[in-house]
Amino acid sequence: MGVQGMHETARAIVADHKGILAADESTGTIKKRFDSIGVESTEENRRLYRQLLFTAAGMEDSIGGVILYDETLRQRADDGTPFADVLASKAVIPGIKVDTGAHDQSGFPGEKVTEGLDGLRGRLEEYRGLGARFAKWRAVITIGDAIPSTACLSANAHALARYAALCQETGIVPIVEPEVLMDADNTIERCYEATAGTLHRVFHELDVQGVDLRGTLLKPNMVISGKGCPEQASAERIAELTIRCFLDHVPAAVPGIVFLSGGQSEVEATENLNAINQVGGPWPLSFSYGRALQASALKVWAGDAGSADTAQATFVHRARMNALAAAGAWTAGMEQPVAA
């Protein structure tokens, strides 16, 4: 894929208010999800669950791309079709998670740096051969006493930029994901400061490494109160500060911003995305959600083939709610039980 092809792919993923399904849970993470519904996390159960999502009728109306895990990219549907081809046949673009996780940063207690650059060029070439057209790398930024540090922001931004450059060399669109966690007790104003500092450093490094912003997507956190903060900001306040922060730090050349849900409930993630789009900015403002698209569907499925149709309808409804939010057209009255 040449330069123009990467530009077109990045735009296509978020075209028509579509967003991304993050189905790239690691084997350890999806085990926790399956434990919550009493299903054993075998390779076959993981395959069946991902197949349920990918083959849901109408999911392609709201989902422009799906991030896969290494195992999932190599799996096939019941009829033998590789999952990447199942998605591509619905004009849904397959992607792949390529980092190897966030690890403790030496000398900086409480902070993480994401690893996975060693051997990445070869892995990207293999993934492209398996059908992946975009990739994802997640940096983890923690808010706490005197953190995030400059060292943490610098290390993670540099790694994100090197990853992005390697992706584009291979003709793969990089999703750049610097996540400021919402797990602490910080105010929304503190989140604003940390997010602004993170984005400033990330785009500086992307420029230094020669990354073509028109062939990328940004997957950031919303500017939001920490989970433990006694004063939780309203959706309107989240939208106001998020857009203000992004206008100051995200170049207009970026073809799309796909927010992560960061542990928000399904409806919270939709409500906040909708509020953000009602303020608006120069980019498509969409979603790249994992739990906030899957939680209800996973619970409905619970490993029972007889519940598959209802689980698929539940997932498609959730995806549609977020596509409406990406257009700023969602209302709470649209949230209703879904029948198969």
Catalytic residues: 177, 219
Q: Find the length of the chain.
A: 340
- From CA 256, how far away is CA 158, in angstroms rounded? 21
Q: What is the largest CA-CA distance in the chain?
A: 54
Look up residue 139 and give its two tokens: 């940096």
Tokens at residue 337, please? 């039980």
